[in-house]
Amino acid sequence: MSLRSRMETWWKAISERGPLDRQVQEELEFHLESYAEDLMRSGVPREEAMRRARAELGSLAAGQEKCRAAWGARFVDELWADLHYALRMLARSPAFAAIAVGSLALGIGVNTVIFTAAQHMLLDRLAVPHPEQLRLLEWTQPNDGIVGSMWGWWDDLPGGGHLGTSFSYPVYQQLRKQSSEMESLFAFKPLDRQTVTVDGHAEAVGAELVSGNYYSSLQVRPILGRGIQESDDGSPGSGPVVVISDRFWMKEFTRSPQVIGKTILVNMTPMTIVGVNPRGFTGAYSAQETPDIFLPFSMQPIVAPKNGGGSNSSSLLANTDLWWVLVMGRIKPGMPDRTASASLNVLLDAAVRATMPVKKGGQIPKLLLIDGSRGQNPAAEDLAKPIAVLLGLGGFVLLLACANLANLLLARASARQREMSVRLALGAGRGRILRQMMTESLMLSLLGGAAGMVLAYAVRNTIPRMMSDSWAPQAVSARFDWRIFGFAAGVSIVTGLIFGLAPAWEATRVQVSSGLKDSAQTATRRRRGLAGKTIVVIEVALSMLLVVGAGLFVQTLIQLGHARLGFRPANLLLFELQPPQTRYRDAASIPLYRQLEQKLAAIPGIQSVALTNAPLIAGGVSMHAFIPEGQQRKPQGNPSVLSNDVGESFFSTYGIAIVAGRGFNSSDTETSRKVAVVNESLAKKYFPNLNPIGRTFESGLDVASPIEIVGVCGDAKYDRVRKDPEPTFYAPYWQEKEGFEDATFALATRLDAKTLMPALRQVVQSLDRNLPLLDVRTQDEQIAASLRYERIFANLTAAFGALALILACIGIYGIMAWTVSRRMHEIGIRIALGARSEQVQGMVLREAAWITLLGVVAGVAGALALGRFVASLLYGLKSWDPATYAGSATMLILVALAASWIPARRAAGVDPIRALRHE
Amino acid sequence: MGKDAGVDLLQGTLDMLVLKAVSLGSLHGYGVLLRIQQISQNRLEIQQGSLYPALYRLEHEGWIAGEWGQSENKRRARFYRLTAAGRRRLEAETKKWDQFAEVIGVILNTAPEEL
C-alpha cells in the first residue's frame, strides 16, 4: 500500500509540477492568513501579524521545495537542473560542443556500423519460429573414409580427415524414418542459378530443393497459397510445383495475387506456382541470401538432372554414392543434444551399411549435431576473425575519442574551479558535484551517441555493399533494430562514464577556500597536470596502434595487387553461361560451346576467345583424383589435384607459357586419345626429375581411358591470389564426356563491356533464345572482387589511421597549449632573466617530444602484442614489419612536433611584463 | 517551559503527533497545528516551517489522504484524514513509544539500592 501511494505521489510531483506548486502555495497562504487572523484577534496589528506569520512559516519557495522533496522528487529535480545547466554551458561554447559531439559521433557511429555488419553477417538467424531448436546434421570422417563422392560444402580437419554436411538421399530417407529424438528431419539443397522463364523472359535465379516436410518442420507459413507438401515429394516428377520468394513475386509479378496457379518454366520444365514465401524468409541454408524458387526433391531428376558418382541415371534420389543433401531437424524440447546425436549416429551407421557397400575396415562417418539457427552460414567462419579485428580497431578509435574528450573536459574543469568552490561553499556535497559532472558527461556522450546512430543509419549499407560483387550488387538492407540501438546506447553510456570520470574526480577535489581566492592559480595546480599528460600518452599509443594497423593492411592490399599471378589478366572480358541440363544434357552442351567460341571470335574487336569451366580467381576449384601411370588405383583415398576444363586458346588468351611440349590443337578431338596439359608444380610433385610428356595418368571420372600428358605449362594462380599455385592439370573441354554445367568465356579485347554487349547478346541468342548472359565483368574486376575483404580492411583501417592522427594532433596541441598557458609566469621569468626564444621553444618542444616518445614506445609494445592476432590476415609482410613501424613512429613524431609548434611559438613570444601580471 | 521540547522535536515524533491529531478528525494544516497545541495544553510548540513537509511526507507514505474542502470561514483549504494504513501505523508507533518511555523510565528511576 505504501509503495503504491509513494509511486502515485512521486508521479504527480514529476508530471504535474506546476499544479503541485500552486497547491502548496494555496495551502501555505491559507495557513498564513489563518495564523495572521488569530494573531490579529489577540491584538497584534495587521502588519506585525503578517510579518510574524511569514517569518514563522518560512519562505514560500523553500516550502515548495521541501514538499516536493517529501514526495520524492528531489532526484529528478536535480537531474533536470543539471541537464539544463549543462545545455546552457554547451550552448555558450559551440566550438567545444561541435568538437566533442563530432568526435563522439564518429567514434560511436563507426562502431555501430561495424556492429550492424557483424550482426547481419554473423548473428542473424533464420526467419522461422524458434530457430534455436534447429539442429544441422554434420559428419566427420578420416581421409580414407567411405564417402568419396560429394557435392556440397566440406572442410579439412586440422588433424586430418574431413568435415561435411551433405548426405546421400537414401541415407536421409532412412534417417528420417527412424529418428525419434528429433521432432522431424527434413532435407534441403541450395542450387546455383537455374534458368527461369516467365512469360518468355529468361533469367537466372537461385533455387532450393526441399523435402515434403520442410515447410511444416520449419513452421513457415507462406503469405499466399501454400508451401511444399508431402504430396509434392512423392515419386520423381510427381510434384511440378514451386513456391517463390517475396522478392521474386515483387520483381516479376508486381505482387499480383493472380500469381497462384501461374505456370513458369524452370530449366525448360513447366512448373506451377503454388505459394509465396513470407518476406524475410531466406531458406534454411543461410540468413543472408534468399533463393527465389523452392521446389520439391521429387522434381530433381527432371528439372536439375545431374550425374552423380558414375551412375548414368540423372536422378540423384536413388543414388547411393553421391552425398549431396543437407539435413536439418528440430530437436524435441528437453532432449539433450548428446542423446540425440548418439542415437542418430547409430542410425547413420545402419543407414550407410544398408545403402553402400562397406569394405572391411571401411570408416563410416561419425555424426554430430550442430546449431542450425543460422543455417549452414558458410560465410561466418571466414568472417568471424576479420569482423572481430574491425570491432577491436573501432573500439580503439572510440577510446581515442574518449581520451581526447577527457582532456578537453579536464581543461574546462580547471576553468570552472571557482564555480565548484562556490557550490561547495553553498553546501553541496562532493557526491552531488560528482553527480552533476557525470550528468554533463553522460549528456554529452548520449548526444554524441544519438548523432552517431544517425550517421550509422545513413551509411548502414556501405559495408554489406562493399562485400558483394560490383557487377551483381545485392539489394541489401541491413536491419537497424533494437539490438543495434541497444549497442549504441550502451557504448554511449560507457563512453560517457570513461571520459567523464577523470574530470569529475578532479572537480570534487577542489579546496573551497583557495578556489574562491583571486589568484587561485598557484595553489591548485597539484601534480603538474599529470593526469592530462598521461591521457595524451595513452592517446599517442592508441594512435600508433591504429596507424601501424593501417600501414599493415594497406600494404597487404598493395602486395596482393602486385602479386605474380602467372597469367595476364589485362584486357580480358568474362561472362558466364549456365545452359540448363534439361536441354543440354551432359555432352550436348559441347557443340553449343564450340559454336559460341567460333561466333564470338568472329566479332570485330575480339582477338581471341577462351573457355574455362572454372573462372580464374573466383574462389572456386575443380578437383579430381590423379593416379599417375604405374601407381595402383585405390578404391578410396586416392590423391587428388586441381583441374580445369579449358578451350583451345586458353593458354594464349591468358598468357600462360607452355614450357614443354604443346597446348591443345585440332588433332585432339572428341574421339582421339584423351590429353591434358599439366603445370610445373604437378610435374615437379608427381614426376620429379622426369619428363612428364608422354606419360599418362588416370583421373577419377572415366575409369577406362588414361590421359596422356602432352605439355607442361607455367604455374598460374587458380582460385585465390593469396594461394600459391598447386598441382593442376588442364584438359580440353570437348573431351569431357559428361560436359559441364557452367562455362566462363574469356574474351581478349580492348573494347569495354558496354560496347560489346549488344554483339555478345546477339551471338548467344542466335544459338539459344533462352540463355541469359551472366556476370559480365573483366578479369581485373574479378580479381578486385576477390580481394574485397582486403580492400574493405584497407579502406577502413586507413580511415581509422587518419582519424587517429587527427585526434592525436588535437590532443597534443591541447595539452601543450594548456601547459604553456599555465606556465606563463615561469616563462615570463625565464625570458626576463635572459632566455632566448629558441631556448623557450626548445623547452616546449622537448616536453612534447617526451610525451610522444613515451606514447610511441607504449604503442609499439601494444602493436607487437596484438600483431599476432592479425598475422593470418596479412599478405606479403609480417605483423612486425619494421618498415611499417618505423614509418608510423616517424609520422606520429612529425605530427606531434607540428601540433606543438604553435604553443611553442606562443611561449617564445611571451612578453615578460604581461606574463608576470597574468593570472 | 515547553519551548525546548518544541525545538528538539525529532522528525519521527512530529509525524506521530500529526497522525494523532488527524486521527481525532479531519483537519487542514493550520488546524493540525492548533489541535496539537490544544491537546498538549500549550506545552508543545511546533516549528511551523516543518509542518507542511511533514504533512506531505505522511501523504507520500499513504498514511493520510488529502482533499480540498471548505473551511469554517468559507475559504478553500486542503483537509487531511487518517487512512486505514495510517491508523495501523499510529497504533504501532504509539505502542513503540510507550515501550520506549517505560524502559527509559525504569532506567532513570533506578534507585541505587535496586542494583
- Tell me the range of A147-151, A292-296, A700-704, A844-848 where mean pLDDT is highest: A292-296
Pairwise CA distance, residues A175 & A184, whole Å:
10
pTM of the model: 0.77
**Which CA distances in Å does A575 have to A38, A586, A595, A739?**
104, 21, 16, 18
Q: What integer pLDDT is reported at residue A523 of this predicted model? A: 41
Pairwise CA distance, residues A575 & A652, whole Å:
18
Average pLDDT over residues A623-633: 82
Q: A66–B52: do the CB atoms touch at under 8 Å?
A: yes
Mean pLDDT, rounded, of chain A: 86
Sign of torsion, CA A126 A129 A131 A135?
negative
B78 to chain A: nearest residue by CA? A27
Per residue in A78-119, pLDDT (tens digit) is 999 999 999 998 898 888 888 888 888 888 888 888 888 888
- Tell me the range of A437-441, A464-468, A521-525 where mean pLDDT is highest: A437-441
Per residue in A244-258, pLDDT (tens digit) is 999 899 988 888 888
Average pLDDT over residues A809-834: 84
Q: Distance, in angstroms, between A13 CA and closest chain B CA?
A: 10
Q: What integer pLDDT is reported at residue A703 of this predicted model? A: 62
A22 shares contact with chain B (CB less than 8 Å) = no
Q: A6–B60: do the CB atoms touch at under 8 Å?
A: yes
Task: Look at residue A479 and tell me whether its pLDDT is greater than 80.
Answer: no
Average pLDDT over residues A789-813: 88
Q: What integer pLDDT is reported at residue B96 of this predicted model? A: 92
Q: A9–B75: do the CB atoms touch at under 8 Å?
A: no
Which of chain A's residues have a Cβ under 8 Å away from the Cβ of B61? 2, 5-6
Task: Look at residue A453 and tell me whether its pLDDT is greater than 80.
Answer: yes
Which residue stretches of A358-471 are H helix? 378-415, 417-425, 430-458, 462-467
Residue B115: burial class (beta carbons within 10 Å; 0-12, 13-18, 19+): exposed
Sign of torsion, CA A626 A629 A631 A636?
positive
Confidence of residue A524 (pLDDT cuts 50, 70, 90): very low
Q: Distance, in angstroms, between B115 CA and closest chain A CA?
A: 45
- Tell me the range of A279-288, A366-375, A413-422, A880-889 where mean pLDDT is highest: A880-889
Q: Distance, in angstroms, between B29 CA and closest chain A CA?
A: 7
Interface test with B, best of A66, A68, A75 (most B CBs within 10 A): A66
Closest CA to A641 of A729, A579, A702: A729
Can you give the C-alpha Rg of chain B in angstroms? Answer: 17
A12 to chain B: nearest residue by CA? B60
- Tell me the range of A1-5, A699-703, B61-65 where mean pLDDT is highest: B61-65
Q: What angle do CA A770, A775, A780 make, to 5 degrees?
A: 150
Torsion, CA A195, CA A197, CA A203, CA A206, rounded to 10: -50
Closest CA to A378 of A610, A619, A30: A619
A353: Cα within 13 Å, side-chain hemisphere:
9
Pairwise CA distance, residues A453 & A480, whole Å:
10
- Tell me the range of A114-118, A701-705, A915-919 where mean pLDDT is highest: A114-118
Q: A58–B49: do the CB atoms touch at under 8 Å?
A: yes
Closest CA to A692 of A713, A706, A710: A710
- Taking a C-beta distance cutoff of 8 angstroms, is the pair A812, A540 a contact? yes
A52 shares contact with chain B (CB less than 8 Å) = no
Can you give the C-alpha Rg of chain A in angstroms? Answer: 38
A9 shares contact with chain B (CB less than 8 Å) = yes
Q: B53–A66: do the CB atoms touch at under 8 Å?
A: yes
Q: What integer pLDDT is reported at residue B81 of this predicted model? A: 93
Task: Look at residue B5 and tell me whether its pLDDT is greater than 50.
Answer: no
In this predicted structure, which of A125-129, A155-159, A335-339, B64-68 has the lowest mean pLDDT? Answer: A155-159
Q: B53–A4: do the CB atoms touch at under 8 Å?
A: no
Confidence of residue B1 (pLDDT cuts 50, 70, 90): very low
Task: Look at residue A614 and tell me whether its pLDDT is greater than 70.
Answer: yes
Q: What integer pLDDT is reported at residue A540 of this predicted model? A: 93
The label of the residue with cell 495501523 reads B88
Q: What integer pLDDT is reported at residue B4 of this predicted model? A: 42
Q: Which amino acid is at A582?
A: T
Q: Distance, in angstroms, between B69 CA and closest chain A CA?
A: 12
Strand partners, B76: B70
CA distance between the termini of chain A: 60
Q: Greater confidence, B107 or B3?
A: B107
Average pLDDT over residues A631-644: 78
- Taking a C-beta distance cutoff of 8 angstroms, is the pair A179, A329 a contact? yes
Phi first, then psi, for residue A149 (nearest 5°) are -115, 120
Residue A221: burial class (beta carbons within 10 Å; 0-12, 13-18, 19+): middle
**Which CA distances in Å does A819 have to A181, A415, A824?**
72, 14, 9
- Taking a C-beta distance cutoff of 8 angstroms, is the pair A712, A722 a contact? no
Please, which residues 220-279 of chain A have a Cβ atom closer than 8 Å to chain B?
none
Q: Distance, in angstroms, between A84 CA and closest chain B CA?
A: 26
Torsion, CA A33, CA A34, CA A36, CA A41, rounded to 10: 140
Average pLDDT over residues A285-292: 86
**Which CA distances in Å does A500 have to A66, A407, A687?**
31, 10, 70
Confidence of residue A528 (pLDDT cuts 50, 70, 90): low
Residue A727: burial class (beta carbons within 10 Å; 0-12, 13-18, 19+): buried
Interface test with A, best of B36, B47, B48 (most A CBs within 10 A): B48
- Taking a C-beta distance cutoff of 8 angstroms, is the pair A571, A292 a contact? no
Q: What integer pLDDT is reported at residue B9 of this predicted model? A: 62
The label of the residue with cell 509465396 reads A276
Q: What integer pLDDT is reported at residue B3 of this predicted model? A: 42
The cell numbers describing A897, all together, are: 612536433
In this predicted structure, which of A455-459, A781-785, B4-8 has the lowest mean pLDDT? Answer: B4-8
